Structures are given as structure tokens and as C-alpha cells.
Homo-oligomer: A and B are copies of this chain.
């Protein structure tokens, strides 16, 4: 069977997580997120982000996190601004609209939103109340195309949002990868300070399932549990989420796993660079988009699996390669050898 670089959720969980599940298995715990593990995770995260007023809610996946946060935060006439590459705009089967809210999409070069982008959307919607009211800004870090926000970019966005009474919400399905990228200058603490809400993704970073939603804005915390329940996200055995995040947050396993994924991607990136391959965008996280000739793609496909991301012309396409916490040195070495053999 081919080795797959298609995504970062092809394997199960980091072994320490399974161990913790086994060890705690027969102990009784409260249901619905009131287990000791989940409560403990809240304490740990509040400590890590240096925001004792934050609240933490564990859910099973990213689409679920996005739709619950957004529908809980907005009134019916309020809308979301996102990059056109944003997961909520293109890859969640209309989940946000299904809760009644419009998503405005902005075309970007690098998957990142900037104050100007948002201002243009606001300017184009001044005919109130005939046009929806923008209220929430959705960004992803790392973005869907592997890029990351700098501290200045995040702070600027947050200030813009504050001035314009907009909420800033960060999809952190790959937040670990963003924060451990070599070019990163943001910390987890910054997310406790410069966002209204964000989440720490577990699914793509070593958990079986799980995203930890953190709500900093106290007004938005109000009665949030009802929304989890109403949307079917409150697991009876919430311990499953609590135990996993407890393990991930112990001794910074979460960041070690993400850093490993990034490093494996960087090794592959360097190998491509060494043979003169260009990239669709410059990334330092676990997603890379090398531009290859058709026959090169065909050759690599013989023993490895990945998505052809974008056809550039009749002869060349960008492919997408994703590494994970589980991508071994052997696999990377093997793949790099294949790359070096490309002509």
C-alpha cells in the first residue's frame, strides 16, 4: 500500500493518549464534560494562555467547533468575514449558512485576512438594514494553505476588530503547527489576549478526535453549554476529550508533535529546493505545495499518495503534501530519495 501524504489524520492517536485511555478506563467519571480530565484541561489551558477568565469547551471536530461558535456568537442578521480559502467558506458543506449566517469571502494571495480586506466588505454593506451586518472575523492559523500569521498581523486584526465592534475568531485546527513553525513569533498567550475566541486542534495533531474551544470574551461565554448540547456536540463520555487533551498538554507533547510534523515537511521542502523545484506558496508548517511537471507527479505517485492541488498549465501542477506527528524519519528519507531521482 502507498504511503499517504494526503492529510494529517490518517493514523490513530499518539501512543501516550491510548495509554491514558487504557489506564483510566474503568474508573467512573461524570458525563457531559464535567469529568475531572476536562475540568483539568480547562485549568491547564487558562494557565498556558495566562487568562484566568477564559472558558474552555472540548468538542469532537473542526466543523463542529466552527458552526457552534459562530451560531452561538451571532444574532440572526449578523455575518462572517473570511478568506475565500477559509475552511468554513469552501469545505464545510454550507455548515455556517445552515445555521442562518452569511459568510463573505475575500480573495487573498496567501490565505490571510488583513484589516483592509475586511474594511472593503464593510464599505460595500452600508445600505442598512437592506444588507447584512458584519460581526465576526474568521481566520485560520495556520491557514488552509499552510501560511501563518505574524504577531503584528494578529494584533492589527484584533485592534481593527475592537474598533469596529467585530469578534475575532481563530480556527486553530493546526494551531500547533503554526506556533512551532520556524518563522513564527506568536505564543499561545497571544491567543488568550488578541482574540475573542480560538481553538486548539487535536484531531490533526495526534488526538483521535478533539478541538479545545477557548472563549476569552466573557460576554460570549454566556450559556455556551446550551449550544454544544443543541448542536449534538456534548459527548456523554466527555472524558474521551478530556483525557486526550490532558495528555497532549502534558510536557508540551502538543507542541512537540506539531514541531515534528513541521520538521518532516521542511526536510521534504529542502529536498525539492535542492533539485530546483518551486512552490505555490512559501510555507513553514506541515503543508507544502511543490510545483512539478506531470511526469514527476506520476513518478512520485507510484509509491506515495497525495493530492494534485492546482493545475497550473498543460505541463505543470502544484501538489499538496501534508506531514504529521506520525510521519517517520524512514518515510521522509524514502520519499526524499524518490525526489532526488526525479528529473
Contact = CB atoms under 8 A, between A and B. Distances in A.
A4 to B, nearest CB: 5
A76 interface: yes
Interface in A71-125: 71-72, 75-77, 79, 90-95, 97-103, 124
B60 A326 contact: no
B61 A92 contact: no
A95 B235 contact: no
Contact of A232 (B12, B67, B79, B208): B67
Nearest to A28: B10
A166 interface: no
A48 interface: no
A314 interface: no
A218 interface: no
A299 interface: no
A277 B152 CA distance: 48
Given A102-B94, A132-B94, A232-B61, A10 B25 contact: no
B98 A63 contact: no
B26 A11 contact: yes
Nearest to A63: B232
Interface residues of A, number: 79
Contacts of A11: 25-29
Nearest to A125: B90
A209 B244 CA distance: 14
A199 to B, nearest CB: 13
B60 A60 contact: yes
Contact of A93 (B28, B103, B129): B129
Interface of A: 1, 3-4, 7, 9-13, 15, 18, 21-22, 24-32, 60-68, 71-72, 75-77, 79, 90-95, 97-103, 124, 127-133, 203-204, 208-209, 223, 225-237, 239-240, 326
28 contacts: A4-B28, A7-B31, A9-B236, A10-B30, A11-B25, A12-B26, A13-B25, A60-B235, A67-B231, A76-B98, A77-B94, A91-B130, A92-B232, A93-B130, A93-B131, A93-B229, A95-B229, A98-B100, A102-B103, A128-B225, A129-B228, A132-B230, A133-B223, A203-B235, A203-B237, A204-B236, A209-B209, A231-B231
Given A10-B30, A12-B240, A90-B131, 19 more contacts: A10-B28, A15-B25, A32-B130, A60-B60, A63-B232, A72-B75, A76-B99, A93-B129, A93-B131, A93-B132, A93-B229, A94-B132, A95-B229, A95-B232, A98-B100, A98-B231, A102-B103, A132-B226, A232-B233
